[in-house]
Every structure is written in C-alpha cells, then in structure tokens.
Chains A and B, each alone.
Chain A
C-alpha cells in the first residue's frame, strides 16, 4: 500500500480495459432503463397515431398525463385511500408476521399447530375469500385491511421464521456455554441473524400489500367517499373513460415502485455495514 502511494501507479492494458468496462457499466445501469422506457412510451404514442386508434380504445401517453393532471383532485384522494390501506396492511403484516415467527421459533409445538393455517391462508386466492370477508366484516376499512393483510403477511412470516432458525450453530453453543437466557438469545443472536431475511420478505410484502389492497377494493366495490384507485378504475371502465383508467393504473404502478424502492433503501441502510449482500467485490 505504502509503496503504491509513493510511486506513480502502473496501469497495464488489461486494467485500463477493466476500468473502461466498469465506467461503461455504471452509466448503462441508469441510462439503459431510462432510454428503453422513453422508447417504449414513444412507440406507444406512434402506434396510436399511425394506426388511428381512437382514445376510448387506447389513449396516447400525453392524454393520460393530461387526464392525470385534470382529474388530480379525485385521483389523489383515491391514491391516498389506497395508500393508507396498503401501508396499514403492511404494518400489520410486519407486526403479525414477525410476531408469529418469533412464537414459532420459541415453541416447535406452536409452529406445528399453526403453520398449516398460515399456509392455507396463503394458498387460497384472496379474490375467493374477499366476498366472504365483506359479508362478515361490517366495517369496510377493516375488511379491506384484512384482505391486504392476508396476502402480505406470509412472505414476512416465512422469511423471518427461516431467518430466526438460521443462526450459526457454533454461536448457539457459545450462547449456551455463557448461560444466555431465551430472551438474550432471541435479542442478540436470532433477531440480528433474521434481519436480512426479514428485509427480503418486506420487499415482497410491500408489493403484495398493494396488490391485496387493490384486489380487495375491486371486490368491495362500493363507491362514494373513501374510494380507492381500484374503484376509480372500475368506475372509469363503466364510463369508457379509458384515459382515466390509465392514469389510475399509472398511479398504482408508481406507488408499487416507490414502496419497493423504499424497502430496498431501508435494507441497504440496515445491512450495508456488515452483510454480504450489500458488499461490492472488486472482481
């Protein structure tokens, strides 16, 4: 190290090529998706123009943006409703998923008894359960929340359960030798071990809670005040207001991307100091 500080660095041809390739890649990482997105939107626009497709079949991207601005008051209210349900469902999924996972690892018998229920809830399509939920649950918000929660909690539960039981066996022995209590083992060993697994589950659950919220709104169907984006899509569909459908759809997609990005940033913030997944290798 100290030698290379004093002498001018010797960069051979291979190193130069490698550095060039790396620079290229770091630019392409951002530029390529951006260019492709612009190209896709542009060709969408061209296809509509060249084929003379009427706007009530497929609107031009510009019209979608205009509608988004024109209907912003209504759409932003709807976005807020959907977002509220999504985030609440995600919050309850985190609490429920992690809580259940901790109970599972504390007692094998508890896991044996209740794991099948978690699987049944997960594999049954939420669209199939939702009508029943809205029959039994009077409060509309509670019903929506329940639907979104059923979809979102499982990846958190299964990932966290896996993480909590993935502790290094030597560390487990060490904790035993030093007389650690159950609580100490959970707090100092199992929870940190499970953190990367949990964050992986959170990224999946974030998207799923949005899907759950949208699907539940479709099924719940009642309009009026407090309607979310899914209801606006349905309503616009009945009125053949296709640009508004696209505008609402765009908002849902953007919301999903934002949730995923936030979860990824959280993951990076918590893991970058120590976890393998966050470490960049030279070669």
Chain B
C-alpha cells in the first residue's frame, strides 16, 4: 500500500485472495451462497452488486472471518495477518462514549498499542478523511457524513491490504454520497488499496469500481462480471459522460439478467 507506482491494469495484478467453490448453508437448507468463485487481486476495486438476499453480505462476512463457509476454500496470498483487514459497515458504528481519535485508535488499541505509540497513524488517517481538526469531538457532534469518514479513517489506520465496505453510504443523502464517492476514489488513488464494496446501486458501482461482480439470489452466486475500463481518476465529469451512461446500462442489464435467472428458477 505504501508503493507510489500506479495500480497495474486488470489482468496484470497480483492475486490477493481466492474464494473457490465456497458454499454457505444456513439452518441446514437455506443456501446463502452456492459455488462462489471469486479472485481478488491487489488494487482491485470490486463492487458486489445484486438484489437483497443474494449473499453479498454473507460473502463479505466470510472474508472478514466472522463466519465459516460450509465448504470450499478462502485462501489469502501470504496468509491473513493482523491489520490486513479494514471494515466499514452501513452504519458508522462508532463508540459514542469515545472521541473521534479514540475511535480511530481502536484497531491499534485492541492489538495492545498505546495512544502515544500510534498517534502518528491516527492523525494520518484523520487527515486522509479531512477530519484532523475534529480529533477531540464526540460522534454525536458530527454529521452523518462526518461519522462515516471517521469510520473510514478507523478502517484505514492499520494500512490494511483489503478494505471491506458493506453498503457504507446507503443511509446518506445523495449529495453527501457523491462527495464521499469522490473522496473514496481519491483515497484509493493515493493508497493503492484493494476494496470490496457491497452496494445496491448500479450508479455507485459503475462510478467507483473497475470490476462489478453481479450476484443472483436463491442460491446466492456470481451471475456475471462487468469490467469498467474507464480510467482513474474519475471525476464529476465521468458521472455525466456517455461512457458512464453506457456502462450503467450494461451493469443494469447484467443485474436484471441476474434477477430473471432467479425468476426462471422460481417458476420452474
């Protein structure tokens, strides 16, 4: 993540994580995921796009190690080490009794590091999200967008190899969401980090990612993959370009395809 060279194009990236033939069954019969295959490469910005119940969040929870797959393998290139993962949930998930800097300290604190040891890291992360002057504030003093920024700073503070984001901006208003989308791309450009981003929004997935993995429901599986070749940095101009509209149509078609597959299965 510290390298300053640009991210190589898709197809020339080193493998980071491999999910092969992953199944997850709940209660003995509900197939949340069936035969999921996904390779995550270093520098990928992957959006998991799909209707609710397609297992996007389940896939994320499996990668995060919050649950175990029923069968199949999840392998990390070089193994999974402390501080390799950063997570951002749909809610900011901040501790209300702790100040902004104490919240960002959490990943380090749980590894036994004192505030003084990691103050540099914390300020670095807060600067990245533009909140360095709010270090002593309490979460209730911040707006929804700012809370989300703190949450992102907390995910970045260990300089993780992979950042998992589970519909992080879904609860924000459109203007704030666009702003955070832009800032997230800027961060990614600066840090060369790998992101898996779960979303319901076709537009968001096209704007942010270079790989859109479209998932279908019942059972949850990968239905299609759309590659977004548009170059980074992407700005507001990209949002209004013809390319963007085309890509949105393509992703939207893939999503409808995924939903129809489910319809055929249900009627069969």
Whether both chains belong to one complex is answered with yes
User: A interface vs B, CB < 8 Å?
Assistant: 168, 170-171, 173-180, 184, 188-189, 192, 195, 273-276, 279
Instruction: Tell yes or no: B124 within 8 A of A by CB.
Output: no
Are B91 and A274 touching (Cβ within 8 A)? Answer: no
Stretch of B103-111, B174-182, B232-240 lying at the A interface: B103-111
Whether A177 touches B85, Cβ cut-off 8 Å, given contacts A192-B95, A273-B138, A274-B97, is: yes
Contacts of A274 in B (CB 8 A): 96-97, 138-140
Are B111 and A174 touching (Cβ within 8 A)? Answer: no
* B102 closest partner in A (C-beta): A188
Known contacts A170-B89, A184-B110, A274-B140; 11 further A-B pairs (Cβ under 8 A): A170-B93, A173-B61, A174-B87, A174-B93, A176-B65, A177-B87, A178-B106, A178-B107, A188-B95, A192-B98, A273-B97
Are A178 and B110 touching (Cβ within 8 A)? Answer: yes
Instruction: Tell yes or no: B64 within 8 A of A by CB.
Output: yes
Complex-state Cα separation, A276 to B139, whole angstroms: 11
Complex-state Cα separation, A275 to B91, whole angstroms: 18
Interface size on B, residues (CB 8 A): 22
Contacts of A168 in B (CB 8 A): 93
* B109 closest partner in A (C-beta): A188
Whether A179 touches B85, Cβ cut-off 8 Å, given contacts A192-B95, A192-B97, is: no
Residue from B65, B98, B106 having most chain A Cβ neighbours under 10 A = B106
Complex-state Cα separation, A170 to B139, whole angstroms: 16
Instruction: Tell yes or no: B246 within 8 A of A by CB.
Output: no
Complex-state Cα separation, A171 to B92, whole angstroms: 10
Instruction: Tell yes or no: B266 within 8 A of A by CB.
Output: no
> Majority SS of interface residues in chain A?
helix
Instruction: Tell yes or no: B66 within 8 A of A by CB.
Output: yes
Residue from A171, A177, A178 having most chain B Cβ neighbours under 10 A = A178
- How near does chain B come to A5, taking the closest CB pair, in angstroms? 20
Complex-state Cα separation, A235 to B93, whole angstroms: 59
Contacts of A192 in B (CB 8 A): 95, 97-98
Contacts of A171 in B (CB 8 A): 93, 95
Contacts of A178 in B (CB 8 A): 106-107, 110-111
Residue from A175, A176, A188, A192 having most chain B Cβ neighbours under 10 A = A188
Are B140 and A279 touching (Cβ within 8 A)? Answer: yes
Complex-state Cα separation, A30 to B93, whole angstroms: 39
30 contacts between A and B (CB under 8 A): A170-B91, A170-B93, A171-B95, A173-B61, A173-B64, A173-B66, A173-B87, A173-B89, A174-B89, A177-B64, A177-B66, A177-B87, A178-B106, A178-B107, A179-B82, A179-B110, A179-B111, A180-B110, A188-B95, A188-B106, A188-B109, A188-B110, A192-B97, A273-B97, A274-B97, A274-B138, A274-B139, A274-B140, A275-B96, A276-B140
Contact with A along B110-136 (1 / 0, CB 8 A): 110000000000000000000000000
Complex-state Cα separation, A110 to B211, whole angstroms: 50
Complex-state Cα separation, A275 to B93, whole angstroms: 15
Are A189 and B95 touching (Cβ within 8 A)? Answer: yes
- How near does chain B come to A175, taking the closest CB pair, in angstroms? 7
Contact with A along B41-79 (1 / 0, CB 8 A): 000000000000000000001001110000000000000
Contacts of A279 in B (CB 8 A): 140
* B87 closest partner in A (C-beta): A177
Contacts of B106 in A (CB 8 A): 174, 178, 188
* A176 closest partner in B (C-beta): B66
Complex-state Cα separation, A273 to B111, whole angstroms: 27
* B108 closest partner in A (C-beta): A178
Contacts of A173 in B (CB 8 A): 61, 64, 66, 87, 89
Q: Enumerate the 5 nearest inter-chain pairs by beta-carbon distance, A residue then B residue, closest first.
A: A170-B93, A178-B110, A192-B97, A180-B110, A170-B89
* A192 closest partner in B (C-beta): B97
Are A177 and B91 touching (Cβ within 8 A)? Answer: no
* B82 closest partner in A (C-beta): A179
Complex-state Cα separation, A170 to B138, whole angstroms: 19
Complex-state Cα separation, A274 to B139, whole angstroms: 8
Complex-state Cα separation, A275 to B97, whole angstroms: 7
Contacts of A189 in B (CB 8 A): 95
Contacts of B61 in A (CB 8 A): 173
* B89 closest partner in A (C-beta): A170
Complex-state Cα separation, A178 to B82, whole angstroms: 8
Complex-state Cα separation, A173 to B97, whole angstroms: 18
Complex-state Cα separation, A188 to B102, whole angstroms: 11
Contacts of B97 in A (CB 8 A): 192, 195, 273-275
Contacts of A174 in B (CB 8 A): 87, 89, 93, 106
- How near does chain A come to B57, taking the closest CB pair, in angstroms? 11
Complex-state Cα separation, A184 to B113, whole angstroms: 13
Contacts of B93 in A (CB 8 A): 168, 170-171, 174
